Structure formats: C-alpha cells, structure tokens
Chain A
Amino acid sequence: MSGVVTLKINGIDVGAQENETILDVARENDIFIPTLCYLEGLSRIGACRLCLVEVKGISKLLPACATTVAEGMEVFTDTDRLRKYRRLIVEMLFTEGNHVCSVCVANGHCELQTLAQQHEIDYVSLPYLYPQRTVDASHERFVFDHNRCVLCTRCVRVCDEVEGAHTWDIRGRGIESGVITDLNQPWGTSVTCTSCGKCVQACPTGALFMKGKSVGEMVHSPSFLTFLAQMREAKK
C-alpha cells in the first residue's frame, strides 16, 4: 500500500510514490542529478556523494539515491554550493587514480569523463597523488586496470547481488583500499569467478574491459541490470 506524495524539486511540483527516492522521482521528471555509485538494479550505498541535494529545513546535504521522498519536501538539485562540491569531488577522483583519457579503452564512453564534462573541469586544481597501482590481465577474456578504478563498488555489488558469486570485495581501507579478487589473487586464478562479465558491463570507467579492445572501443551497457531486476521482482 504505497501512497502518493507531492513534493517540489527545483521549484517544480512533482508527484511520487511514497517509497521512491529523490533520485527516482527526479529521473522520472527529467531532472538531472549526477550519480556514480548508483546503478539501477543494485543496492544503494550513498558512497560517491555526487547526488547530494539540498532539502529545505534540513541542514545536512542528502544523497538523492538513498533518501526517500516525503510529503511537502522541497528539494534543490543544482545550487552553486552543490556544483562547487561536485566539481571538487570529481577532481579528487582524477587525482586519486592514474587517469589518462587519451589512451583509455573507454575514452568517450566513460562516466568519469562525462562527469568532468558536465562540471566543466578542463584542468584539475588539486595535485595528483600518483598511486602505485597494477593492471591484472590474467583473466582469459577481461582485464582489470586498477589505475582507472574509482572504487564505486558497482562490480562488487553486481557480482554479489546479481550473479551471486561475490568474487570481488574491497581490501584495506581509506586511500589505501582497492578492489580484490577472492584472496587478493590474480583474476585468472579465481575459483569463484563465472566469467559472466557483469562486472565489466557495470563498470563506469575503463577499469574493467574486454581483452582486445583498443582506445575508445569499450562501451559498457549496464542496462541489462534493469531488465534482470524487473524479472526478479516479477518472480517474487
């Protein structure tokens, strides 16, 4: 029994189901909110903080992907303050990894690149941290280039929640953390990986890609997830 609520997003009155999130409602109404860790069909972890919005009467910024709507809510998705923060967050992602778009398989099809364009980032004002990261090409069909990983954990979640293999997880913590396979071993030696390739499709950047792709050729299509999610819902 889900009721209907009305709220305002950027001054526009919109209607919604009471169990929807701000992000769901915004998308239904063609109101753009940037996202990165969110992927339809996966759990919502509110980690990247790009979808933060302002809500009247609440001093904290709230993640649109993980906040349910309420009657009379007044949401602002595109204030100067939010733009400033989002820009800095995207910049920080560039400094945290080693991203060189010009040689990347995902050039032109990368969510990080798109975020940079959306926020008009043509140079990064923060210094690069140049972490030491590796490339794992031990899998027969796929490659994991950790230099391009933004730690959104979409691969971890799709593998656990959809494929049910839980091959991926995160090692360590903080700025030292990274995605691992099983007991931190080469992907090709994993005993749990089913080679289904869902992680590759879910990846927003060129970190996970199919072997044999060259610059700009890796196009991800995570839309299968929406379909899978709906089919499962129907089965229940």
Chain B
Amino acid sequence: MKATLALPSDDKRWRMVNATMRRHGYSSSALIEALHTVQQAFGYLDETALQYVAKSLRVPLSRVYGVATFYNHFMMKPGGTHTCVVCLGTACYIKGSPQILETLEKRLAIRKGQTTPDGKLSLMVAHCVGMCWLAPVVMLDDDVQAEATPAQAATKIQEWVSK
C-alpha cells in the first residue's frame, strides 16, 4: 500500500487530482487520467502539478513530461480568458478556414496555439468540431460562428476582446 503524498498546497483542487489517482489505486497507468484532472481543475499543467503527479504515481519525471507534451489536449501554459477555435477539419478547410486563421493571426498578432499578451484570448485550431455542414466553423468559447468569413470572424473577435 502506497502512502498518500501531502498535497502541494491547501488549494482544494489538489484533492480532486488526488481523488482521481486514488480511484485508480495510484497505478502508473492512471497518468493520463490524472493529467486530465489537473488540466480540468487548473486549466493547464505547471511544474508543481507534474511533480506531484509523478511522485504520487511513482512515474519518472521525464516520462510525465513526455506524456504531457505528446498529447495536444494538455496545455503547459495558462490559456486566455476566452478561446477562439478555428476548425481546420476537412470540410472547413476546403471551404476556406485557412484564410480565416491567417486573418485572425495577423489581426491578433499571435500564431495558432498562442495567447494574446494581455491573456484575454487564446487562438486554437481543431480538426473537425463536428458541424461540417456549417463550414467553415469558428467557435468563440461556446458560440458557434457558422459559415464564417475572415472579415466576420475578425470583427467578432474584436468585439469580444474589447468586452
């Protein structure tokens, strides 16, 4: 029986992380599940979290880092307050989503996967958000912009960032 490690701080969210690991009997195979919980609770994975998970599950540090960076879903930095997702699935691509992405990248002066310096907006891409008939699709948090054009998306973002 492995002893439970002390939580990194008294932030309640660590208890959720610990609960996930406990549910899996602190097995090393619970690594991805544990990282999911960290991501969900904190929004990203920082060094404290990686250390904590590694020690609790007795997984080498480098393996934890390797797993965390292998999967797209895990973020190593905090995201913006808002997230804009440009769909680059096949249907959206052939209907012009790359142009939308390009316009937004220029307008926001960041590349895909990055967050604006003021921390307000992250610009992300997805490979099909499952609404192909509305292509090209841009999502602003939970808002769906159907049949988006570069100009429209840019205006919408501007509105949103200035909010």
Contact residues on A (Cβ < 8 Å of other chain), bracket: 10 to 19
Given contacts A183-B47, A183-B50, contact A167 B62 (CB under 8 A): yes
Q: In angstroms, how far is the closest chain A Cβ from the Cβ of B50?
A: 6
Residues on the B chain within 8 Å of A43, using CB = none
Bound-state Cα–Cα, A68 to B145, Å: 55
The size class of the interface chain B forms with chain A is: 10 to 19
- List chain B residues, Cβ under 8 A from A27: none
Closest to A168 in B: B62
Interface presence of A10 (CB below 8 A): no
Given the complex of chains A and B, what is the CA–CA distance between A181 and B66 in angstroms?
10
CB distance from A96 to the nearest CB of B (A): 19
Instruction: Name the CB-closest residue of A to B66.
Output: A169
Minimum distance in angstroms from B113 CB to a CB of chain A: 12
Interface of A, helix, strand, loop or mixed by DSSP: loop
Q: Is the CB of B61 within 8 A of A172?
A: no
CB distance from A196 to the nearest CB of B (A): 15
Alpha-carbon gap, A12 to B50, bound state (A): 54
Question: Across the two chains, which residue of chain B brings its CB closest to A191?
Answer: B61
Question: Could you say which residues of chain B place their CB within 8 Å of the CB of A183?
Answer: 47, 50-51, 61-62, 64-65
List residues of A (164-181) whose CB comes within 8 Å of B's CBs. 165-173, 180-181
Residue in A166, A172, A173 whose beta carbon sits within 8 Å of that of B62 in the complex: A166
Contact A169/B47 with A180-B65, A180-B66 known, Cβ cut-off 8 Å: no
A-B contact pairs, 7 of them (CB 8 A): A166-B63, A167-B60, A170-B66, A183-B51, A184-B65, A192-B60, A192-B61
User: What 6 pairs between A and B have smallest CB-CB spacing?
Assistant: A169-B62, A166-B60, A169-B66, A182-B61, A171-B69, A172-B69
